[in-house]
């Protein structure tokens, strides 16, 4: 049981390039999330999804796009990368609403640098 898998682990992008951060989970979780964590800061929610075909904006969605065509996959797309998007990106999932007490399961993170 792999849990939440994120790829790549590290990436360096040039300003203006685009890329997709992959996230897949094999736990049949309905809820999936993308957070970013800047150095010394808390996690900020970018986008989330409560089920296949449904996505919603979080606190900091600008510059990002997501899709949820299957229960397992929740890719995060960066268009026109900017230095402000340098961060660690975490994908997470939960079987039901995490506010009910179920833990969020996190991937290992993707460390992205935009120069």
Partner 1 sequence: RKEVEQDPGPFNVPEGATVAFNCTYSNSASQSFFWYRQDCRKEPKLLMSVYSSGNEDGRFTAQLNRASQYISLLIRDSKLSDSATYLCVPAGSSGDKLTFGTGTRLAVRP
- When asked if residue 107 is in the footprint of partner 1 (CB under 8 A), the reply is yes
* Piece of 14-22, 38-46, 63-71, 73-81 that binds partner 1 (CB under 8 A): 38-46
- When asked if residue 99 is in the footprint of partner 1 (CB under 8 A), the reply is yes
> At CA 89, angle to CA 76 and CA 21, rounded to 5?
30
What own/partner pairs with CB < 8 Å and gap ≥ 24 does 62-66 have?
A: 64/34, 66/34
> Considering beta carbons, is residue 62 or 99 the nearer one to partner 1?
99
8 Å CB contact between 22 and 73: yes
Q: Interface residues with partner 1 (CB under 8 A)?
A: 31, 33, 35, 40-45, 48, 50, 58, 90, 97-101, 103-104, 106-109
């Amino acid at each position: 049981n792999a849990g939440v898998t994120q790829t790549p682990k590290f990436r360096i992008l040039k300003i203006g390039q685009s890329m997709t951060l992959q996230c897949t989970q094999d736990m049949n979780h309905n809820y999936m999330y993308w957070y970013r964590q800047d150095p010394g800061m808390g996690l900020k929610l970018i986008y989330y999804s409560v089920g296949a075909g449904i996505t919603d904006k979080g606190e900091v969605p600008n510059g990002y796009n997501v899709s949820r065509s299957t229960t397992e996959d929740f890719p995060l797309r960066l268009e026109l990368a900017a230095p402000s998007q340098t961060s660690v990106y975490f994908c997470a999932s939960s079987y039901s609403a995490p506010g009910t007490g179920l833990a969020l399961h996190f991937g290992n993170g993707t460390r992205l640098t935009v120069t």
